[in-house]
Structure 1
């Protein structure tokens, strides 16, 4: 107990001694702030360790590095943020300007299209009123271009150039100038063919005893009669037909139509008669197993004859069984734009029917672009006989065959043009002629003869039209 009391007394003495040596003082630091300092001497250490030791120096270095990094980050963030904001604002302004410009362009385009639509609607309304006016207007009597008793014959030749005959202007063709007979859209210089150098002869109109039901030379073509306008762009080009020797199950009044615009042309629309065609109500739609090429198809004895797309293959499609009945390549025939008519449209092979059967009009490399006529077997499609003419296929707009005679049309776009050439397969002779012909809608892509109706069927720039015609006997001198 005494020992414990002695130890406590010693501790108090030591504590008191330490308190006597403690000091509290105050003063301003370097920044001017008041600072209190309490100092107590260490009872163990006689002196403090060196202040410049490794630990202190390392700590100072780390603190300096930290201060530098903080300073850089603070300054960099401030500057970088300002640059970034400026750049972002500039980009946003540019994007806004571009969007505004594009919007203005689109608005201008929209206004232009609206103006064009308004103009088209006005034109359609004008055409509709004109159509109604023409329908209500009585048709004037047609006067043949060539009078029944022509006073112009002079030993079978034309009058001199000074004569007032409607055909006198063609006398220049006897000196080799064929410019009046050519298509103005196609200029080929001197083709080196002989058809434009042939003498042009006039053909008398039929008399009362002959009528216009038999075979003979074509002497007159009437103004076109419009039956229907196509519904959409697919009908700008096409072909329409009537089977002149129809068989069951379709009657003789059935009308067939193919729109030939499109990558896959295979639909055939059938109409019960001309009235249903004009109303646009098909009673039958066929889907062909092989694609159709261009406007050269025709109907004959219950079959559709057409050229297979991108080939020289001819196909006979039986309407009753709705299947392919025969196919055959047309020997050496050009196809898909090698020897078309002047209007183009891949019209290399043109099929037609007349009183003598089925025909193909085309060209070959051997013929060097001249029209070749071949009569075909309607059952097997085999070539029975061929004729090579002296007229270039690409120099005429279209052609058709009547009574074994090929007739060509000079222009597909001129409103007033001519049937300018005739080739007779019976005599293997061709000659230049000049029968007036009208392209009412200024883009005629198909002309075919219908022997049952004694008319020409044509497809003129969306419009299905027909032409009355007159045949006569060739005068024998």
Structure 2
């Protein structure tokens, strides 16, 4: 017992001294198990060569690995970027070419879409015209039947020929030579489809000798009839689907009066004016002169007069007088308030907002304005300065007319540009400022007439019908056609 007591005291003393130099730690390890750690300071070494814990060393190793990976990735990005730039530089021309092709195809499709939309609008307008015409024909009463005159009755007994010294009331049906020497008679349309007795009477009347030049067809008058179309040439390519052809009624040097001129108006770059020495060379397709116009042409409304070409500049209401001799622009002027580029075209479309023409009374413009609300406006122009001298506003809508032309100061409109057998349905006289409905037969032989103009040089109608250059003989009379 006495021996145990000193031993315990020694142990206690040693334990107290050890607590100043040793440490006991308890905690969970990484797997979650309880772990005791006992540390004793070294009696010899003041410090350890490695002061970091294992976790710190592991963290340093991970950081080093990350630094290596980042450096590799950075170098790879730079190399990849350089390679991509090289590939992009090589692929850029191919991409640009593909883009240009795509843009070109888009423009072509857009143009075709606009063309189809215009055709659709034209068809819709034509259907509406046909509906109105059908209603008009249904509501019109039948004409009274005229009794047939016996063939044996003499002309004097019928009252158609008066004794010497008197004038015949049917003198407007007698044979009259025109400027070209055509001696065919002026025929009343009512006689062409009558009974055999009327046909015989017509033959007897045409045998009466024609009067002298006091009633020659060379003077001005009202349009009585239009002959059958005569084809002179067909265009060679799509550029000639629509166009305008013309002659100068007062040609000046260096071009003679037989010179024929032509413009193909399909495309966005319309500026070539082809000249032919005469109609024969036109039929053969051999131009003797090709002029490049300084300003682009809009549509089929051009005309020739006194050595100058008059036309509308593309996408504007500007009129241009181009001198053929000097091959330069002699005058330009805006047509006041005129619609342009599809605002007030003819029913067939084609940006035919402004239509220029020439007749016995000078230079004319047919167009419309917002003030006129789409009705046809006729203006007489000064051929030198293009200034408007006088204007008339009609009662016919411009987009309901297929085309129009002016003869002797009288405007005539065409009912359809596609119907093979149509009519000239309206006439407006600038001398009386009065308009009226007419019904003069007209034939669109090829089914798409984009230009009809009066040619004063030959006293005919010139037209451009679906690639074909066509002309019509006409008859003028002193009395208005009923």
TM-score, length-normalised on structure 1? 0.58
Query: Residues 203 and 473 of structure 1 are in contact (CA less than 8 Å); yes or no, is this contact kept in structure 2?
Result: no
Cα deviation 1:216-267 (Å, max 9, x = unaligned): 0000100000000001000000000000100000000000000000110000
Query: Residues 422 and 443 of structure 2 are in contact (CA less than 8 Å); yes or no, is this contact kept in structure 1?
Result: yes
Relative to structure 1, the CA distance from residue 434 to residue 183 in structure 2 (aligned partners, 3 Å threshold; closer, same or farther) is farther
Relative to structure 1, the CA distance from residue 468 to residue 189 in structure 2 (aligned partners, 3 Å threshold; closer, same or farther) is closer
In the TM superposition, what is the alpha-carbon distance from 1:204 to its structure 2 partner?
A: 5.0
What is aligned with 1:307? 312
* 2:364 alignment partner, one of 335, 359, 362: 359
- 2:222 is equivalent to residue 280 of structure 1: no
* Residues 15-414 of structure 1: pairs in structure 2 closer than 5 A: 184-187=126-129, 204-205=172-173, 208-209=210-211, 210-414=215-419
* 1:451 alignment partner, one of 450, 456, 465: 456
What is aligned with 1:86? none
Cα deviation 1:48-74 (Å, max 9, x = unaligned): xxxxxxxxxxxxxxxxxxxxxxxxxxx
Separation (CA, whole Å) in 2 of partners of 1:186 and 1:324: 42
Separation (CA, whole Å) in 2 of partners of 1:183 and 1:225: 28
Query: Residues 387 and 428 of structure 1 are in contact (CA less than 8 Å); yes or no, is this contact kept in structure 2?
Result: yes
In the TM superposition, what is the alpha-carbon distance from 1:184 to its structure 2 partner?
A: 3.0
Of structures 1 and 2, the one with the larger relative CO (CA 8 A, separation 6+) is 1
Unaligned runs of 5+ in 1: 1-181, 192-196
Separation (CA, whole Å) in 2 of partners of 1:354 and 1:382: 17
Query: Residues 266 and 290 of structure 1 are in contact (CA less than 8 Å); yes or no, is this contact kept in structure 2?
Result: yes
In the TM superposition, what is the alpha-carbon distance from 1:188 to its structure 2 partner?
A: 10
What is aligned with 2:473? 468
Number of aligned pairs? 290
Query: Residues 456 and 467 of structure 1 are in contact (CA less than 8 Å); yes or no, is this contact kept in structure 2?
Result: yes
Extract structure 1 runs of 4+ deviating beyond 6 A. 188-191
In the TM superposition, what is the alpha-carbon distance from 1:183 to its structure 2 partner?
A: 6.7
Give the aligned CA root-mean-square deviation in angstroms: 2.7
Cα deviation 1:119-159 (Å, max 9, x = unaligned): xxxxxxxxxxxxxxxxxxxxxxxxxxxxxxxxxxxxxxxxx
User: What SS is found at the alignment partner of 2:126?
Assistant: coil
Separation (CA, whole Å) in 2 of partners of 1:415 and 1:296: 22
Cα deviation 1:408-444 (Å, max 9, x = unaligned): 0000000000000000000000000000000000000
Unaligned runs of 5+ in 2: 1-123, 134-138, 140-169, 177-209
In the TM superposition, what is the alpha-carbon distance from 1:211 to its structure 2 partner?
A: 2.7
What is aligned with 1:36? none
TM-score, length-normalised on structure 2? 0.58
Separation (CA, whole Å) in 1 of partners of 2:430 and 2:463: 23
What is aligned with 2:440? 435
Query: Residues 246 and 300 of structure 1 are in contact (CA less than 8 Å); yes or no, is this contact kept in structure 2?
Result: yes
